A = this chain, B = another copy of it.
Amino acid sequence: MPIRALVWGENVHERGNRVVAQIYPDGMHACIAAALNADPGLSATTATLQEPEHGLTEARLAETDVLIWWGHAAHGAVQDAVVERVCNAVWGGMGVIFLHSAHFSKPFKRLMGAPCNLTWREAGERERIWLTSRGHPIAAGLPDHFELENEEMYGEPFGVPEPMETVFVSWFQGGEVFRSGLTWRRGAGNVFYFRPGHETYPTYHDANVQRVICNAVKWAFSPAARIADPNAAPNVPVAAAPEPIVERGPRLHHDGEEGLR
């Protein structure tokens, strides 16, 4: 059974900006989903900000293996309840990939626990993406470096927690660098951030970029069953302790209670 990817697009620029609409007439999410669907191991659908609950209902997330997130102009319009739902799904084992300006999206900031800030410049300059972790599955089939002739610059320092692995680092024509492919784990969920994808350039039509995203979906996928309540903090009664013990000393809690939060 193919891995079920869900590409979430903010879908704002595509409808309001002629430049973006020309590059992505069906939306960036549709372009990305098409690239994923060209891989027989993947099956991708889309959801957008404008749908009820942004298209991210409990039921939808339950049948999603890996979520891909692109947003920029409307981070603030994403409902907090949906953000929490997405984070719970990640903690329970859903993979998630954040693209480009999603560095400031609510779910990414929520999962990182850090500012996620950077410097930026929109000048259509050249970006060269270098592999830093040879043999990493997210880089499968890619050369040691590849270029995007026109991209927005993102510069260090990038305000994210130290990653599990640095997979890519970008060189920019204007003189900056950026750690552009980073992995983390949050709860049982794998998280990948990938830098390229400014909406006024045809980045998601690029074969190497598409390859990275396909690879990342496979990397982020967990075959394990979703953890039902990833926040549970169960009490282990004395009688159920792995080793026999006798209770001692004063207590605050009663048997079987839920604990304080």
Minimum distance in angstroms from A225 CB to a CB of chain B: 9
Name the residue of chain B whose CB is nearest to the CB of A76. B261
Is the beta-carbon distance between A161 and B177 smaller than 8 angstroms? no
Q: Interface majority SS on A: helix, strand, loop or mixed?
A: loop
Docked CA distance A19–B241 (Å): 25
Is the beta-carbon distance between B245 and A174 smaller than 8 angstroms? yes
**Chain A: how many interface residues by the 8 Å CB criterion?**
101
Which residue of B91, B176, B177 is within 8 Å of A115 (Cβ)?
B91
Interface locus among A32-40, A52-60, A122-130: A122-130
Interface locus among A41-49, A61-69, A165-173, A205-213: A165-173
For A201, the chain B residues whose CB sits under 8 A away are 249
Is the beta-carbon distance between B200 and A249 smaller than 8 angstroms? yes
Sampled A-B contacts (17; CB under 8 Å): A113-B113, A114-B186, A115-B187, A119-B233, A124-B247, A128-B175, A132-B158, A144-B156, A145-B242, A150-B248, A162-B164, A164-B165, A169-B177, A173-B245, A175-B241, A175-B243, A200-B250
A161-B184, A232-B117 known; A135 vs B104 contact (CB < 8 Å):
no
Is the beta-carbon distance between A169 and B165 smaller than 8 angstroms? no
Is the beta-carbon distance between A171 and B177 smaller than 8 angstroms? yes
Docked CA distance A70–B9 (Å): 40
Q: Is A50 an interface residue (CB 8 A)?
A: no
Q: Is A1 an interface residue (CB 8 A)?
A: no
Is the beta-carbon distance between B248 and A124 smaller than 8 angstroms? yes
Write the A174-188 contact mask toward B (1 if CB under 8 angstroms, else 0): 111101000011111
Is the beta-carbon distance between A200 and B124 smaller than 8 angstroms? no
Query: When A and B form their complex, which 3 residue pairs have the shortest distance between CB atoms, in order from nearest?
Result: A135-B188, A175-B242, A124-B249
